[in-house]
Amino acid sequence: MSKNIVLFDGETAHAELLPITFTRPVADIRLGIFTIREKWERLFPGDYSYLTEDYLASKFPAKEVDETFYIAGNVCPSQRLVEEIEALGHGESLGYQGTFIAFRGTPEAFRNGDYGNMRDADAEPCMINHLFDIFLKNGEALEADYLMIARNEKPAVISPTNRIVGDLYYPDGTPKIFIEKGATVECAVLNVSEGPVYIGKDAEVMEGSCIRAPFAACEHAVVKMGTKIYGATTLGPYCKVGGELSNVVMLAYSNKGHDGFLGNAVIGEWCNLGAGTNASNLKNDYSEIKLWNYPSRRFLRTGLQFCGLIMGDHSKAGINCMFNTATVLGVGVNVHGAGYPRNFVASFSEGGTSGFADVQLPKFYSIAERMMARRGKVLTDEDKAIYEAIYTQAENLK
């Protein structure tokens, strides 16, 4: 009988990871090659669903039965962690230094906080608790995902037109470059000294591109001619990039197709960065970065020196836009014009340095539908209900 597994957001994780989690459960965040849910599905097969915010539940409903494994959606799996969760008895839970990770039991017990005996995990798992964890931990997650693929599947042949820098193999003989069938990589420089390179099905790396691992281009992603990429960078499905990128995670269906710099950044789905757009990731005085935090509604210290642009789904930047270090854009934001906009822009806003105006939902839907149609996707009534809920929340932040 298939295991019933529910990936739950947890109040803290979902709020801390806004604006990326405005439109998805925490476990649908891409980290490395796969989303967190996809990682669990590979290592711990079962019937998966989500326990998330009420306004997301119609699109991402939870399936709960009397014997359910509840797993924190911000925790990435490892083989050892899966073994520890599978070994839980009914009514038992697993944690790490006071952090709740998993519970096996009934929905009633889970909701009542009756977690029974809590075992301690052997080692700290990879967790994303803050927005910047997505790019900080991307390299670790990418290599783990890569090895899951490369040790179990056969790659396509690397074209001799490419230049490989570094040892092509891990000590155990696993290759450091994995090209899926249908992918195209020609006349590129691939440096695998610091990790692996993964090129997904039907992805394309055009001539003249220089890539330093760890790097992943997922299904149908495109790296345009002469692009410079530093690890750890992930391009989600159907993303298209050009210019210069360093330690960037793009979830899916987003474009940065021209020259301009983007570093230490997280870009949601259906975003577009116009030609010449640059986003700072380092302050001129090299001081500690503060980042907008949705739960506290203020900028908080991060302890980081490098942090770039955080962009919610369906946000856009016009040509030659400039973003200050650690700028956060909500969902459905359209930035244009000269100069630097403020460091936080609430969802459904349009403008630039001279100020922002509200973007009404009918206009947002019209733009979103045109962009999604280019990829054969449809904006559903469920999607619209989600955006209506986000719109109402955004009004309180303007």
Domain ranges for the chain, please list them: 4-128, 135-395
* Close Cβ partners of 124 (under 8 Å, ≥ 6 residues apart): 96, 97
With pLDDT > 90 as the criterion, what percentage of the chain qualifies?
94
User: What 3-state DSSP class applies to 392?
Assistant: helix
98 pLDDT more than 90:
no
The Cα 322–Cα 315 span in angstroms is 15
The Cα 394–Cα 397 span in angstroms is 5
- pLDDT digit string, tens, across residues 15-50: 999 999 999 999 999 999 999 999 999 999 999 999
Q: Are strands 99-105 and 68-72 parallel, antiparallel or unpaired?
A: antiparallel
256 pLDDT more than 70:
yes
In this structure, are residues 369 and 387 in contact, taking their beta carbons and an 8 Å threshold? no
Structure tokens of 59?
């699109």
* Close Cβ partners of 121 (under 8 Å, ≥ 6 residues apart): 81, 84, 94, 95, 96, 101
203 pLDDT more than 70:
yes
Choices 1.10.150, 3.40.50, 3.90.550, 2.30.29: CATH for 4-128: 3.90.550
* Close Cβ partners of 196 (under 8 Å, ≥ 6 residues apart): 142, 143, 146, 147, 150, 176, 177, 178, 213, 214, 215
- pLDDT digit string, tens, across residues 142-162: 999 999 999 999 999 999 999
Query: Is the previous residue joined to 19 through a cis bond, with omega within 30 degrees of 0?
Result: yes
| Architecture of domain 135-395 in this structure | 3 Solenoid (2.160)
**What is the rounded average pLDDT for all residues in the chain?**
96
How does residue 393 score in pLDDT terms, banded at 50, 70 and 90? confident
pTM for this one?
0.96
398 pLDDT more than 70:
no
Average pLDDT over residues 114-133: 94
How does residue 397 score in pLDDT terms, banded at 50, 70 and 90? low
Structure tokens of 278?
């640059």
306 pLDDT more than 90:
yes
Average pLDDT over residues 353-379: 95
Residue 245: how many CA atoms within 13 Å on its side-chain side?
36
The Cα 207–Cα 188 span in angstroms is 5
285 pLDDT more than 90:
yes
**pLDDT at position 338:** 85
The Cα 269–Cα 238 span in angstroms is 10
Helices (H) and strands (E) in the chain, counts: 8, 35
**pLDDT at position 42:** 96
- pLDDT digit string, tens, across residues 167-202: 999 999 999 999 999 999 999 999 999 999 999 999
Residue 229: how many CA atoms within 13 Å on its side-chain side?
38
Q: Name the least confident of 50-59, 233-242, 245-254, 387-396.
A: 387-396
The Cα 268–Cα 247 span in angstroms is 15
Percent of residues in the chain assigned helix, strand, coil, to nearest 5: 20, 30, 50
Q: Which residues pair with 233 in a beta bridge?
A: 215
